[in-house]
Amino acid sequence: MNIKINNKKIECEEGKTILQVCKDNGINIPTLCYQENLEPEARCRLCIVETKDGKLITSCSSYPKEGMEIKTNSEKVKRARKVNAELLMPEHMDKCFRENKNHDLCRLIHELGIREVRFDPKKKYKVDLGASVIRDDNLCINCGRCVAVCDKIQSTWAIDFAQRAHHEHVTPYSEKNLNDVACIKCGQCIAACPVGAISEREHLQEVLKVLKDKKKHVVVQTAPSIRASLGEEFDLPPGTLVTGKMVAALRRCGFDKVFDTNFGADLTIMEEGSELLKRIKENKGFPMITTCCPAWIKFMEHFYHDLIKNKNMSSCKSPHEMLGSLIKTYYAKKANIPKEDIIVVSIMPCTAKKFESTRPELKSGVDYVLTTRETARLIEHFNIDFKNLSDEDFDPVLGMSTGAAAIFGATGGVMEAALRTAYELATGKELKSVDFKETRGLDGIKTGKVDLDGKKIRFAVANGLKNARELLKEKDKFDFIEIMACPGGCISGGGQPLPYEKEKIKKRIEAIYEEDKRLPLRKSHENPMIKQIYEEFLGKPLSKKSEKLLHTRYFKRSPF
């Protein structure tokens, strides 16, 4: 098909929107409500372009027709964009004190050259202070991206629009708070929001306070996916591994010990792998489902009560909770510090882990959870020149890990790591190729088979909870299932650097698999420190002590 954009002839494929065609041809069109992979809702009316007959149409929801002539930057277009952007500004401007480069709207206002907003803010709206996620309606511009993500990607339906005209606003049903409805705290709505109206519940101030407290011994642990994303906050290219710099920076912030959640991940594999083998031996409890993702767990507790009843869920705590327990028991004893004086801070890509750390049944070893973004703010707070730090290593014992743990951050990683260990534990043979390619990639649902000494294990991996719902419809066809709430896994978790772009996420995932390849040991059970901790402290996987410290239970919650 041939069309003209800004008087230039352009050939385009059928089925692409005008917006996509423009993008392919290097023409930038501002958007606020459009999201890749989701159907356009065409709410914001900023992506408008002008047709030959002087009509303005939204490029995100219109398709080119043969012979069409489009102007993307005419005076008419510019004026309409300006007015629409200006109409969105009053409330946002009132609350967003500084122009924030992460806010699409703030950037747009600059691009469009708006210096003055003619309208006053309407009124003050509610601020919903959730356990993980905060919604500030004053900043919201009703673009609907969070609603679309919660509905179409996570199928959780925690939020929707209510009322009409300028009273329309996003809210959980009947104006409840996020804490009181079935919101799984995944934070994907944060990632979707173009103006920062949704954000994490900060623990930063609390952490700064304990760092100042001389009496406290403050220990920090970092999740597998942080090292592949933290660099972005300091303008390093996506996919840069910053493990060494991160450790160095955290030491400079004043943490007494820097441990690695990857150690917890290796431990998770030992426990979970053994659990799988036990189920195979007893031939019951299939499919077994992973429990590393607290958002998935909360989702299951709201919507899939039969998985609790039928004991499909693994009983393993998530890796950072396992490590938290060990820090407050094993490490406390070894270092001879009273447990009460130890503060554990987890650095996570995830907002759901903030909620998780408040679960009473966990008697959580973790006191505070910081997201990747908060961590960058922490480092900035101490005026550390992150880019130029030289690499440092994690502190010993609880800082040692394998390649299997490194890949936890990507969808399919837990499955692959578990299969590496389960295979060797079950067969007693060495696994020749440790790469399980079927588990990798960004497909919503991935499946495969592996032979564990006579027992064929059919495994499946889902990321994004809409996909999980699909997979669970056919759960009886599988023996072992991994579910991660965030599309792509923790690497695109609700606490990761903004804004989210697919290309960035692919780079982060590549970095993680690079790390796996680079490490000398790539199977969790080969980690010498894991061996040591079982010998010295835990006994063996699924021992009484392990059960007490590393495993947990689940509760039914209301689906509303």
Partner 1 sequence: MQILRKPLQRAYRKAIKLGSKATIDLIKKKGLSGRGGANFPTGSKWEMVSKEKDSEKYLICNADEGEPGTFKDKFIIEKNPEALIEGILIAAYAIKAKKAFIYLRGEYDYLESKLKKAITKIKNRTGSETPIEIVIGAGAYICGDETAILESIEGKRGQARTKPPFPTVRGLYSKPTVINNVETLANVPLAMLYDDWNKNLRLYSLSGNVTRPGVYELPLGTPLCDLIKLGRPKNPIKAVFFGCFGGCIPHCDIPLHPDAICGKECMLGSCTIIAVDEKQSIVDLVTNIAKFYEFESCGKCTPCREGTYRILNILENISMKNADMKDLDTLKELAEVIKETSFCGLGQTSTNHLLNALKYFRSEFEERVKEKKTRKRTAR
Which option in partner 1, ligand FES, ligand SF4, none does residue 88 bind, with CB closer than 5 to 8 A by kind?
partner 1
Roughly what angle, to the nearest 10 degrees, separates helices 372-381 and 204-212?
40
Q: Does 544 bind partner 1 (CB under 8 A)?
A: no
Please say if 41 is a catalytic residue: no
Q: Does 163 bind partner 1 (CB under 8 A)?
A: yes
Please say if 143 is a catalytic residue: no
Q: Which two tokens stand for residue 51?
A: 């047709």
Q: DSSP 3-state assignment of 343? A: strand
Find the shortest distance in angstroms from Cβ 479 to ligand FES: 44
The alpha-helical segments, DSSP class H, found in 310-368 are 319-326, 332-335, 352-356
Task: Considering the candidates 60, 183, 193, 292, report the single residue annotated as catalytic.
Answer: 292
Question: Does residue 557 contact residue 454 with C-beta atoms inside 8 Å?
Answer: no
Q: Which residues bind ligand SF4 (CB under 6 A)?
A: 133, 140-146, 149-150, 154, 156, 158-159, 170, 183-189, 192-193, 195, 197-198, 293-296, 349-350, 352, 484-486, 489-490, 493
Nearer to ligand SF4, 352 or 452 (CB): 352
Closest alpha carbon to 437 in 513, 493, 505: 513
Closest alpha carbon to 290 in 542, 462, 454, 443: 462
Find the shortest distance in angstroms from Cβ 125 to partner 1: 14
| Residue 316 DSSP code | B
Distance CA 246, CA 90 (A): 39
Q: Does 44 bind partner 1 (CB under 8 A)?
A: yes
Residue list 111-130, contact with partner 1 (CB under 8 A): 118-119, 122
| List of residues 6+ apart from 455 with CB closer than 8 A | 280, 426
Nearer to partner 1, 77 or 417 (CB): 77
At residue 27, what are phi and psi to the nearest 5 degrees? -100, 125
Find the shortest distance in angstroms from Cβ 81 to partner 1: 9
Distance CA 11, CA 1 (A): 6
The full length of the chain comes to 560
Q: Measured at the alpha carbon of residue 15, what is the angle toward residues 13 and 17, in degrees to the nearest 5?
A: 95
Task: Considering the candidates 356, 416, 424, 438, report the single residue annotated as catalytic.
Answer: 356
Number of residues that bind partner 1 (CB under 8 A): 32
Nearer to partner 1, 39 or 306 (CB): 39
Task: Considering the candidates 271, 275, 321, 438, report the single residue annotated as catalytic.
Answer: 275
| List of residues 6+ apart from 20 with CB closer than 8 A | none
Query: Across the chain, how many H-helices and E-strands are there?
Result: 20, 18
Question: For ligand FES, which residue of 5, 10, 20, 31 counts as binding (CB under 6 A)?
Answer: 31
Q: Does 362 bind ligand FES (CB under 6 A)?
A: no
Nearer to ligand SF4, 58 or 142 (CB): 142
Q: Which two tokens stand for residue 547?
A: 């059960």
Q: Does 87 bind partner 1 (CB under 8 A)?
A: yes
Which option in partner 1, ligand SF4, ligand FES, none does residue 323 bind, with CB closer than 5 to 8 A by kind?
none
Find the shortest distance in angstroms from Cβ 143 to ligand FES: 7
Find the shortest distance in angstroms from Cβ 28 to ligand FES: 13
Helix%, strand%, coil% for the chain, nearest 5: 45, 15, 40
Which residues lie near ligand FES (CB under 6 A)?
31-34, 40, 42-47, 58, 60
Active site residues: 272, 275, 292, 314, 353, 356, 361, 490
